[in-house]
Structure 1
Amino acid sequence: MPRESGDASFLRRLNQVAVLRALHATESATLAELARATRVSRATAEAIMETLLREGQVEEFAPSATEGLRGRPARRFAFRGAVGHVAGVGIGAARLTVMVADLRGRIVAREQVSVPTDLSSAGRLDAIGTLVEQACAAAGIAVAALTAVGVGTTGVIDGEGRVVKSVVLADWTGVPLQAELARRLAVPVLVENDMRLAVLAEHWRGAARGRTDVMYLHTGSRIGLGLLLGGAPYRGSHAAAGELGGHPNSRWRTFQHVMDYAMAVDPGELRAPSQAALFALDRAREGDAGAARVVESFARSLAEALVTLVTPLDPELLVVGGSLAQAGEQLTEPIRVYLGEVCLYPPEVVVSELGADAVCLGAVRHALNEAERLLFASA
């Protein structure tokens, strides 16, 4: 019996990957549509489809009753998302979030837990491991069945997934996060900075869909920045792009306006910077003219800090996220006006569509990128 040559086997694998990729990129397709999309014969597409059906990577639709009345319907197929799963982990100071998704990106389980802000690194790692197990159980799969786990955390993250520096989480600097979680979960783990994953999520499912050059401004207990350049998150030469410097307790000078206001109006209450900002925003919504002026000054201070990045990078869109983004136009309009005054090509300024889920969804997308790389590998 003649043996199939290595070249023929490789070509068959290339064609199979092409058909699978084409099917993954659409909701469903017929054999004729797949053959045209991949430039293979219909007979080749049919043979490949039978293989993919046996392997459980695709599924065939049963013809509807209406189609049956019009004669023999064309066979229609879809990529089977449940062939694999990934998990995304969002690590916050006071909250951990885990989402499990199939390979279509459909979220099939979500778990969240509050944790003490001063939790030790070992305690936080254990809590993450437990939460991933709970999310997988809710999705009806074993942790070992995950193709990859994406993780988003504050701080500078090196190429090995180690936290080089974190000024937000206690006992987090120096933690080999990727290695520790991979040891606990026994599946591939990919770790990235939370702001880069937030802008990735906005590009995937949020306000930045269809955009290629985007800034994501996080406004909350801290100020952070994520950059998407050419459609990909930008890391920088030291993986520190977007880090606006170490500001313990988030006492960045732009918060001074709202902190002074909160102290003057309600001196009996000691507020953190983000709490002072929310206090001023609430008062402004209630019609307090002084609060409205302070909020505008706060927003313009944010814009002044951004302009040194907006001017040289020329993004088409600025997405404002974080807890303060709930203010909507109260926050975005002064930023929009200031950038319009000083920038040759001011970006569009919008509020995040993903809210507090941005980092975890970005971690899911990060894991899906790895799963798709493996799925569509040619050899």
Structure 2
Amino acid sequence: MNDSVDDLAELEGLRRAGANQYDLGSFNEAVIIETIRLAGTISRTEISRRTGLTQQSVSRILRILLQQGLLVEEAQERAERLGKPRTPVRMRSNAAHAVGIHIDPELLTVAVVDLDGKIVRRETVDLADGLEAGKLIDLTAATVTAALSISQVDPASMLGVGVAVPGPIDRDGSLLALPLQPAWRGLKIRKLLQERLNHPVLVEKDGTAAAIGERWIGRSARARDFAYLYLGTGVGSGLILNGSIYRGGSANAGEFGQIAALRMGEWDPEDGPRMVPECNPTASLPVIAAEFGYVETDPGATDEAKRYKAVCKAAAEGDAAAVKAVTQVARVVGQGAVGLVDLLDIDLVVLGGPAYMKEISEIFLTEIGRAVNAHPVARETRPVAVEESMLQTDAAAVGAASTIFHDAFTPRVSGSSQARRLPK
């Protein structure tokens, strides 16, 4: 198996972790699970090599995990040179499930997701302006219950419920502010949903959830550090640093709009950062396009989301005004990305979210890639790759479910800041 330098560095970290044996039971099990997850399918010998654990320890732990049904053996392969048969193992996709919820100001998305990140059942519900907080909880709980019932997943395989929301949030999983739905301010989402659903609930900012999902689904391709730029109602970011999700001291890391405001000079000495319209692409793109002379001809473009999609479609078809507008938005987002990658010294930016559409992907990839590679450090020392998300438009919902898997299976040493949050 040919591993990239980044993959080997990630796995070397796992090897050292396995050898240390901080927790002889659950920790080494988690190290082995993470190694299998990164590889997809892998032999016992290779697990031993990558983790530094003895083959006897690997075999013992794999026997337990196979008996539990978390893993499955593939057909035997003939090992090269030695001629001995080997039986690779992989994670059994339906061994565990999680529900991912994305609460957007205008749309509720609920997805039942398996260990491979495949959506088993998906439900969406439009949310009315001014929807009362209590009714939001009622609607969300009912939608989750319906999705689980229709999916027919084994209840014993359900690990928990992840919720992705626009920030900011507090450590208890409550919304602190949401301009488009002010009635939701202070809503104790985690507490209320946990009571209604009788499952553990974790709450993340949407950008953070998307980054976790990208790392989980991407396996070895996303084993390195990266910033996930989440384009939705606004632009947020999720950060994977030193192989772990970075949430910050209050779980609100990744307030991308403020970085963009600094880069664009939108800053008041007394009041701080001003709103940058381009950091709300869904709302600003149709307005900017009109300023460039774009004329909407689609009679079905009757609301903000539809107008946004119409401009994106027009840009893909070569409408000059639409192309100029998309380029302007992409360049402003690119300036925010410059601040992010230069501050954190990362070499991968991932683009995704519902506002990142295939019709405008080439413009965004080009403009952001140009911006983050325009400075001497990037050109000479750290070229920055800009890539599309593997999660596409359901990034936040799948990412929210992945927070449950990440919490349940990712290895942690004693005293780690990445403490387990689900009950054992």
How does the TM-score come out when normalised to structure 2? 0.68
Maintained 8 Å contact 1:332/1:349: yes
Question: In the aligned structure 2, how far is the partner of 1:80 from the partner of 1:54?
Answer: 12
Structure 1: runs of 5 or more not aligned:
1-10, 67-71
Q: Of the candidates 184, 194, 217, which is equivalent to residue 182 of structure 1?
A: 194
Task: Choose from 55, 63, 85 the match for 2:97.
Answer: 85
The residue aligned with 1:304 is 335
2:142 to 130, 135, 143: 130
- Quote how far apart the aligned CAs of 1:21 are: 5.3
Which moves more between the two structures, 273-282 or 302-311? 273-282
Give the Cα–Cα distance (whole angstroms) in 1 for the partners of residues 69 and 121 of structure 2: 25
Partner of 1:266: 295
The 3 A distance-change label for structure 1 pair 31 and 283 is closer
Distance 1:109 1:280, change over 3 A: closer
Secondary structure in 1 matching 2:136: helix
- Which residue of the partner structure matches residue 372 of structure 2? 339
Q: 1:201 — aligned with what?
A: 213
CA–CA separation in structure 1 for the residues paired with 2:296 and 2:59: 74
Is 77-86 or 144-153 further displaced after alignment? 77-86
Q: How far 1:183 sits from its partner (Å)?
A: 0.3
Query: How far is the alpha carbon of 1:80 from its aligned partner?
Result: 4.8
> What is the CA distance between 1:155 and its match in structure 2?
1.6
Aligned equivalents of 1:256, 1:126: Cα separation in 2: 32
How far, CA to CA, are the matches of 2:58 and 2:343 in structure 1? 48
Q: CA deviation at 1:124?
A: 1.8
Tell me the distance in 1 between the aligned counterparts of 2:343 and 2:211. 19
Q: Is the 8 A contact 1:58 1:77 kept in 2?
A: yes
> How far apart, CA to CA, are the structure 1 residues paired with 2:247 and 2:159?
24
Of 321, 325, 345 in structure 2, the residue corresponding to residue 294 of structure 1 is 325
**Partner residue, 2:121:** 110
Cα contact 1:60–1:77 (8 A) shared by 2 = yes
> Residue 32 of structure 2 aligns with which residue?
22
Indicate yes or no: 2:401 matched with 1:364: yes
After superposition, where does 1:143-158 map in structure 2 within 5 Å? Answer: 146-158=158-170
Distance apart, 1:288 and its partner CA? 3.1
Q: 1:80 to 1:296 in 2, by over 3 A?
A: closer
Cα distance change on mapping 1:172 and 1:86 into 2, 3 Å: same
**Residue 247 to residue 192, structure 1, CA distance change in 2 (3 Å):** farther
Output one character per residue of 1:292-341: Cα deviation in whole Å (capped at 9) or x when no partner: 33332332222233333332223212222232432111222122223333
Amino acid at match of 2:163: V
Q: Is the 8 A contact 1:211 1:316 kept in 2?
A: no
Shift of 1:354: 1.8
In the alignment, the residues of structure 1 paired with residue 326 and residue 104 of structure 2 have an alpha-carbon distance, to the nearest angstrom, of 26
Paired residue type of 2:24: L
| One-letter amino acid of the counterpart of residue 123, structure 1 | K
Residue 7 of structure 1 is matched in structure 2 by: none
Q: Is the 8 A contact 1:154 1:168 kept in 2?
A: no
Shift of 1:195: 0.7
Query: How far apart are residue 90 of structure 1 and its match?
Result: 1.8
Q: Post-superposition shift, 1:157?
A: 1.8
Q: Supply the distance in 1 between the matched residues of 2:340 and 2:64 (Cα, whole angstroms).
A: 51
CA distance, structure 1, for counterparts of residue 212 and residue 246 of structure 2 = 10
Q: Choose 44-53 or 214-223, whichever is displaced more.
A: 44-53
**Which of these two proteins has the greater Rg computed from alpha carbons?**
1
Could you say which residue in structure 2 is the equivalent of 1:140? 152
> Cα distance 1:341–1:157, how it changes in 2: closer, same or farther (>3 A)?
same
Find out whether 1:239 has 2:251 as its counterpart: yes
- Report which stretch shifted further, 249-258 or 236-245: 249-258
RMSD (Å) for aligned C-alpha atoms: 4.3
CA distance in 2, matches of 1:278, 1:179: 36
2:397 maps to amino acid? C
- The structural deviation recorded for 1:32 is 7.3
| Deviation string, structure 1 residues 6-36 (Cα, Å, up to 9, x no partner) | xxxxx9x936874685367436677777788
Counterpart CA distance in 2 for 1:366 and 1:267 is 40
Which amino acid in 2 is paired with 1:140? Q
Unaligned runs of 5+ in 2: 1-20, 79-83, 259-272, 414-419
Judged with a 3 Å threshold, the aligned counterparts in structure 2 of structure 1 residues 292 and 24 are, in CA distance, closer, same or farther, namely closer
- Aligned-partner Cα distance in 1 for 2:341–2:47: 43
Matches within 5 A, 1:15-94: 18=28, 22=32, 25-26=35-36, 39=53, 42=56, 55-57=68-70, 80=92, 82-94=94-106
Distance 1:89 1:175 in 2: 15
Larger deviation, residues 261-270 vs 187-196: 261-270
Evaluate the alpha carbon distance shift between residue 140 and residue 293 of structure 1 in structure 2; reply closer, same or farther with a 3 A threshold.
Answer: closer
DSSP-derived class of the 1:14 partner: coil
Q: Contact 1:144 / 1:185 at 8 angstroms: preserved in 2?
A: no
